[in-house]
Amino acid sequence: MSNPPSVLVFDVNETLSDLQPMAQRFTDVGAPGHLSTLWFAMVLRDGFALTAAGSQQPFAELGAGALRTVLTGLDLDRDLETAVAHVMQGFSELGVHDDVPDGARGLRDAGLRLVTLSNGSSQVAEQLLTRAGIRDSFQHLLSVEDAGAWKPARTAYEYAAGACGTPLDAMTLVAVHPWDIDGAARAGMSTVWINRTGASYPDYFTPPTHTVSALTDLAGRLA
Amino acid sequence: MSNPPSVLVFDVNETLSDLQPMAQRFTDVGAPGHLSTLWFAMVLRDGFALTAAGSQQPFAELGAGALRTVLTGLDLDRDLETAVAHVMQGFSELGVHDDVPDGARGLRDAGLRLVTLSNGSSQVAEQLLTRAGIRDSFQHLLSVEDAGAWKPARTAYEYAAGACGTPLDAMTLVAVHPWDIDGAARAGMSTVWINRTGASYPDYFTPPTHTVSALTDLAGRLA
């Protein structure tokens, strides 16, 4: 491997975890399943708004608050707070994408250091990776809660570099979200975009260094 | 009027303009109408991400780029770029909400100075207010394109204060978006939330100073 990145920094929500079951949680409570996608975009929108305004709140609080906004006024089959709790419970019981276990083990076996850096809590990442049987492939599970700012603020990536004792330009962010790729690139990291769905990459964001359609393809691309 | 705000600063997209016709633009090209709401949340999400990362792009470029992401992979009735152009054309032909003309004239007639501050272009605001016959109720049409940062970054509100020659604490932001209320409040402005739909206000954002269900109710609330 020529010039291998010393640390691979993984985004967690939607990059490692599969959010597909969230649509069922919405239909469970009597709401349209397609609102799950809107809800997740709103959580990020509001989290980034707070970041842009110089503030920060825990991901779970934004998740529940944005759910109240999305679900208010719908004809739900239970009261609003019970519906919010049911949907949020689903978020903490997600599994990983099919390509994640083999992909992560392959990268670890190739001698790379793997960490996570999530806008969510470290606890959610811990439970997700433990359930998937790949917790031991990751050295550190980092959260922006300890960084003082959400990604894609530069501060968040700098925090990860400090926690790993590695300069930013020796780190590679791996994510499905173009906004994360863009922020990491602006901070000086190389980047990998996982595009599992054949999506288009917005031209207003910094392009990724590498693009793969599955995590299992990454070790070969970095070789 | 006791302690009247010297300047009312209006958000434009969705606060003055009615985005409802955008759903029809999506169905026109063969896409589900509910995607219009997701698309607008994505535009703001990505705009705020760039803001958090210290960058900025024009609203129209984000609008078109996010549309490509939303529409890719759907069974459209025309090619992707033609569909994007059709939807974006709708965005520049929107009308104002029913309560806006009388509400704006009433506030101007009460002796208040009205300006706009948009994350979009001043030209879109100019055309919108001219079509509605209320351009002359507004002193200045300001855009974050001249501020160096999108709302809700403090810089954007400071730019408006400078352009109006008014201290931030003598300005009142009027918006339907809680993220805008929150950012303006953090910058030192008082705020008015227009809640036309009976929505819930997220508890992770700074609450508004005033809440009205229509712009026509505002002059009375400020009296």
pLDDT tens per residue, range A27-49: 999 999 999 999 999 999 999 99
B61 to chain A: closest CA residue = A204
Q: Which helix (H) or strand (E) holds B186?
A: helix B178-187
Give me the residues of B, 32-61, that contact A with CB < 8 A: 32, 34, 37-38, 41-42, 44-46, 48-55, 57, 61
Domains of chain B listed by start with CATH number? 7-18+95-222 (3.40.50.1000), 21-91 (1.10.150.240)
pLDDT tens per residue, range B8-55: 999 999 999 999 999 999 999 999 999 999 999 999 999 999 999 999
- d(CA B40, CA B65) in angstroms, rounded, equals 12
A213 to chain B, any CB pair closer than 8 A? The answer is no
Inter-chain touch B51–A55, beta carbons under 8 Å: no
B4: buried, middle or exposed (CB in 10 Å: 19+, 13-18, 0-12)?
middle
Q: Which helix (H) or strand (E) holds B136?
A: none
pLDDT tens per residue, range A163-188: 999 999 999 999 999 999 999 999 99
At A5, the pLDDT band (50, 70, 90 cuts) reads: low
pLDDT tens per residue, range B72-101: 999 999 999 999 999 999 999 999 999 999
- d(CA B9, CA B191) in angstroms, rounded, equals 9
B208 preceded by a cis bond (ω within 30 of 0):
no
The answer to whether B212 touches B196, Cβ cutoff 8 Å, is no
pLDDT at A148 over 80: yes
A34 to chain B: closest CA residue = B34
Inter-chain touch A37–B34, beta carbons under 8 Å: no
pLDDT tens per residue, range B169-210: 999 999 999 999 999 999 999 999 999 999 999 999 999 999
Nearest Cβ partner of B41 from A42, A57, A73? A42
B152 to chain A, any CB pair closer than 8 A? The answer is yes
